[in-house]
Amino acid sequence: MTKIIVPDAAHESPWPHRRTAAWALALLFFAYVLAFLDRIVLSILVRPISAELQLSDMQFALVGGVAFALFYVTMGLPIGWLADRFSRRRIVAVGVALWSLCTIASGLASDFAGLFAARLGVGIGEAALAPAAYSLIADLYPPERRGRAVALYTLGATIGSSIAYFAGGLLIEFASAHGAILGLPPWRFVFFAAGAPGILLAALMLTMREPARRQSARVAKPASFVAFLKARREVSIAYILGYSCINLPFAGFLLWGPALFDRVHGLRPAQLALPLALLFLVPTALGQWLGATVTDRMLAKGRADAAFRTAAVCAALLVPVAVAMPLLGDSAAALAALGLLLFLTCASVGHHAVVAATVAPNRLRGLYVALFFFVQNVMGQAIIAVITAGLTDHVFERPDSIGLSMAIVGGAGAAAGTLLLILGREALRRAAAEPHP
């Protein structure tokens, strides 16, 4: 029988000082920036990599999606287990160093197998970040400030994407115009430039102060992870599958977006550098802020299902945008629709970790977040990457049909996610009100 502890405010440990929390959050934010920089830079290099290594769309999907996801998801769960028990800052430091070295190794690949192996390593390293980061944030910030802290951290994904599109596009064009840099072909140099900053950040991670773990006063000892999932299966299905589905239009663009604008609109990386950098900076930041602020305010008013409410409304608006954006024939209209797609996606999913902090006890939270990213990356990085490539290569049989494939996958994902979150609202309210199992 679960033992319930009555909170004792007199013995409640204080939250970390604001400066301590801010420094830790800044380090985690920059780690997420580099994670997406190293992840997204591959999609900018579709043309030169495929040309030199002679890769088909399906092989590129395996390298850009399956290779990354394979070890990200298989290592994510054990790393989540470690994050619940050992130093989270050290786990993040090792992860940043590993994925940065493997990004550099991507620039050394001489064939499909070598590039596949390097991207496996990137997946292993990045698997260390999310479980530890979300666990740290939950112990750094009180509930009324946590939504915005989570949103600021997840903004690193969009900042990293913005930098990748801007710097990567300009670098590849500059290097192409001037030949080899440091003896490296252009696309190989870009991987070196993307991976190098992570080595310094890994060392800086060790300056972070590890916050005390704050166990909820509603439970003395958390149940096993399996027992916890059984007790919270309804809200967990809505949380994990719902947000993962909503993220599919965003994930699809990260892998195939540059190819879409290249094949359909004739825009090269240098032409896309500034537009994509701005779109991944402004609409995404506004979306993160809006989703987090609305959710925090509704939580302050006692609406325990606030996260699902915000996400479901934004995801419903996302459905027609996800279908239309890749089908538009005018490049300016497509870029405008992309801005709206990014805004709505970030408003929907940017605050998702608020749910994990509400539903899962501290000692299971890292593993719970790891399970979330396990499913999200299986769907967004592996299965959907292969389905999109399969539709393009084997159903429509035309490289310029990539937009139709993206519209099918993205629209279906956003619709399914909307439905799951609507159906899960009552389960989230119950989970917020009941003691942790």
CATH of the domain at 68: 1.20.1250.20
- Residue owning tokens 């579709």: 46
pLDDT in tens, 307-357: 999 999 999 999 999 999 999 989 999 999 999 999 999 999 877 878 888
Per-residue buried b or exposed e for 375-393, using 16+ beta carbons within 10 Å of the residue's own CB? bbbbbbbbbbbebbbebbb
**Residue whose C-alpha is closest to residue 173's, from 66, 48, 84:** 48
Per-residue buried b or exposed e for 105-127, using 16+ beta carbons within 10 Å of the residue's own CB? bbbebeebeebbebbbbbbbbbb
Q: Residue 283, CB half-sphere, CA atoms under 13 Å: how many?
A: 21
Report if residue 342 sits inside a domain.
yes
Report if residue 279 sits inside a domain.
yes
- Tell which wins on pLDDT, 376 or 247: 247
pLDDT score recorded for residue 1? 37
Mean pLDDT of 86-99: 91
pLDDT score recorded for residue 4? 36
pLDDT score recorded for residue 10? 36
- Report residue 177's pLDDT band, with 50, 70 and 90 as the boundaries: confident
Report if residue 5 sits inside a domain.
no
Report if residue 218 sits inside a domain.
no
In the chain, how many domains are there?
A: 1
How much is the mean pLDDT over the chain?
Answer: 83
Report if residue 358 sits inside a domain.
yes
Structural domain harbouring 158: 16-208+226-433
pLDDT tops 70 at residue 206? yes
Give residue 420's identity as a one-letter amino acid code: L
Report if residue 67 sits inside a domain.
yes
Write down the pTM of the prediction.
Answer: 0.73
- Report residue 12's pLDDT band, with 50, 70 and 90 as the boundaries: low
Greatest mean pLDDT among 243-247, 257-261, 400-404: 243-247
Report if residue 8 sits inside a domain.
no
Report if residue 286 sits inside a domain.
yes
> Residue 356 belongs to what H/E stretch?
helix 353-359
Rounded to whole angstroms, how far apart are CA atoms 295 and 58?
Answer: 39
Q: Are 134 and 365 in contact (CB under 8 A)?
A: yes
Output the six-digit token pair for 11: 């013995």
Rounded to whole angstroms, how far apart are CA atoms 317 and 328?
Answer: 18
∠ CA 419-308-4, rounded to 5°: 125
pLDDT tops 90 at residue 54? no
pLDDT score recorded for residue 313? 95
∠ CA 140-144-146, rounded to 5°: 40
Rounded to whole angstroms, how far apart are CA atoms 423 and 426?
Answer: 7
pLDDT score recorded for residue 120? 84
Within 8 A by CB and 6+ apart from 356, the residues are 134, 138, 239, 365, 368, 369, 372
- Tell which wins on pLDDT, 204 or 178: 204
